Chain A
Amino acid sequence: MIDVKNLTKSFGSNLVLDGIDQHIYPGEKVVIIGPSGSGKSTFLRCLNLLETPTAGTITFEGTEITNPKADIDSIRRQMGMVFQHFNLFPNMTIRKNITLAPVRTKLMTPAEADKTAIALLRRVGLEEKADAYPAQLSGGQKQRIAIVRALAMKPKVMLFDEPTSALDPEMVGEVLEVMKELAQDGMTMVVVTHEMGFAREVGSRVLFMDEGHVMEEGKPEDIFSRPQNPRLQEFLSKVLH
C-alpha cells in the first residue's frame, strides 16, 4: 500500500532518516517505537509529505508521491493524520472541524458531511459536543474528535503521531480504546507511540527506530519478549518497568 525506498531526510547537516526501506501492507497495524530524536515522527510525517524527503521515494497505491508533479492534496485526502497536540481548529465548532474538509474537497455535500460527522461522533460517544468549541473539551475528548475529523475523509490509512503523549494519564485509555476499535475494523494504521501496551496488543508489526534507522522489526511478541538488538534491549529496559 505504501512503499518507502531509501527514504532520507536531513535538517541542515543533521541526518534524521538514513535510507529507510519499508513496505506497509493493507490492513497492517505498524507501530513505531524508539527513543526521542530517533526519527520516528519524521518518518511518519514524510509519509504524507508534511516533511519533504531529502532523498528516496514514497509510493502510495502506485502513485509516486515524492514526485513534485504528484497531486499531494488528493493523496493526503486518503491518508488521515492525528497529531500529538490534536491541532483542532479553535475558531470552529466540533461539527465544522469535522465537516470542513469533506465539504471543501467536494467529497460530500454539506448534508452528507453532517450526517457522517454525527455518526462518527456517536461512535466515540461525543455526539452532544457537536456544537461545542475545542476549548470546551478535555484533552482526551479533543484527541477523539481529531481522530473523527480524520476519519470523516474516509481515508485508506491512518497515521498517528504520538496521539497520547500530550494527554493526562487518565485520558490515555479513552483514546487508545478508539484506536483499538479502529484497528479491529480493519483500518491500515501507522502509529508512532510510547504506549508499549498498545503496541503489544494492537500492533501487527513493530518497528524499533534509532538514529534514523529501523534497528529491529518484527511481531510484537518477538520484539518485546526476545529483543535481539542491544539498543532495543536497553530501550525496553528503560520503558518497561
Chain B
Amino acid sequence: MDPTKLYEAFSALDHPGFWQDAYIKFYKAWFYEDRWVNYFKGLGTTIQVTVIALILGVLLGVLVAVIRTAHDQQRPGNRNPLLGLINAVCKVYVTIIRGTPMMVQLMIMGFVIFASSRNKTMVGALSLGINSGAYVAEIIRGGLMSLDPGQAEAGRSLGLNYLDTMRFIVIPQAFKAILPSLGNEFIVLLKDTSLISVVGGKEIVYFAQAIITKTYEPMYPYIITAIMYLIMVLIFSWLQGKLERRLRQSDRR
C-alpha cells in the first residue's frame, strides 16, 4: 500500500480513529514533503561532528595525559620547571572543562567566543572535542597509572628506551584496560552532539525541531530522533565489544 494514498484516505475522514490519527502524524513527521531526507542530513552532520570531536578529543586527551603522567613520574628533586608549567596549564584545562556543564561551554563558545562565526556546526564540533579531551585525558591517565610499575621496569631493565617501553609494553596494556571507559566516553560524546542545536548546529535535533515548527506535533520527530541515536549507539557498542574480545586474546588460559 502506498503510504501517501493511505495518508490521504485517513485525512479525508471526519473522525479518524486512534491508529489512523497516529499514522497521519507519523506521515507528517516522516514522509510529507520528503521530510525523512532532513533527518538523514542531520544524521550526516551528527556523524561528521562526532568524528571531528573524537579525533580532537583523543589528540588533546593523549597529549594532556602524557604531560601529566610524565610530570607525576619525575623523580623528586629532579623536576623540570617547564614541564611543571605545562602541567599546571593542563590541570586548569581539565578543572574548567570538568567543572562546568557541557551546555554552558557550548553557549560560551557559540555566542561569546565565536559569536560572529557562521559555521556553528564546526563551533559545536570544536567545543565537543575540547570537552571530550578533558575526560579522555583523565581516562588515559588512570589507565597508565593502573598498570603495574614492574612492567615498565622490566622493559627498561632490558635496555629498551622510554619510548619503546611505552609503545610496546605500557600503552597496549593500558589501552586494553581503558577501552570500556573510553567506549563509554565516546557514546556520551555521540549523544552530546544533540546539544549543538542550541547554538545552531544543523544535526538531527535541529531538523526535528524545524519539522515540529511546521506540524506543531513534537512526538514523532523526537521519537525518530531518539531511535536514530539508539541505533548509532547500538552499532558502536557492538563494534566495541568485538574489539574488546579481540584484545582479550592474550588472557585465555
Contacts and interface: CB of A to CB of B under 8 A. Distances in A.
Contacts of B159: 73-74, 76-78, 101, 105, 153
B170 to A, nearest CB: 10
A135 B75 contact: no
Given A91-B173, A133-B252, A135-B251, A105 B150 contact: no
B157 A105 contact: no
Nearest to B150: A87
A73 B164 CA distance: 11
Among A76, A83, A150, find the residue whose CB has the most chain B CB atoms closer than 10 A.
Answer: A76
Interface in B107-151: 148, 150-151
B158 interface: yes
A189 interface: no
B160 A73 contact: yes
A13 interface: no
Most buried by B among A79, A80, A87: A87
Given A52-B75, A87-B148, A87-B150, A92 B250 contact: yes
A81 B158 CA distance: 7
B67 to A, nearest CB: 22
**Which of B148, B157, B160 gathers most chain A CB within 10 Å?**
B157
B253 to A, nearest CB: 5
A91 B172 contact: yes
A104 interface: yes
Interface in B192-246: none
A101 B157 CA distance: 10
Given A74-B159, A89-B154, A104 B164 contact: yes
B173 A90 contact: yes
B191 interface: no
B176 interface: yes
A100 B168 contact: yes
The number of chain A residues touching the other chain, given as a range, is 20 to 34
Given A104-B168, A135-B253, A73 B154 contact: no
B156 interface: yes
A149 interface: yes
Contacts of B151: 87, 89
Nearest to B152: A87
Interface string B66-90: 0000000001001000000000000
A54 to B, nearest CB: 9
A76 B172 contact: no
A83 B168 contact: no
B153 interface: yes
Given A91-B172, A91-B173, A91-B176, A149 B158 contact: yes
**Considering residues B75, B151, B159, which has the most beta carbons from chain A within 10 angstroms of its beta carbon?**
B159
B161 interface: yes
A100 B160 contact: yes
27 contacts: A50-B153, A50-B157, A76-B157, A77-B158, A77-B159, A79-B157, A81-B154, A81-B157, A83-B150, A83-B153, A85-B150, A87-B150, A87-B151, A88-B154, A89-B151, A89-B155, A90-B250, A91-B176, A91-B250, A100-B158, A101-B160, A104-B168, A133-B249, A133-B250, A133-B252, A134-B250, A135-B252
Interface of B: 75, 78, 148, 150-151, 153-161, 164, 168-169, 172-173, 176, 249-253
Given A79-B157, A87-B154, 13 more contacts: A73-B160, A76-B158, A76-B159, A81-B157, A87-B148, A88-B154, A90-B173, A90-B250, A91-B169, A105-B160, A133-B251, A135-B253, A150-B157
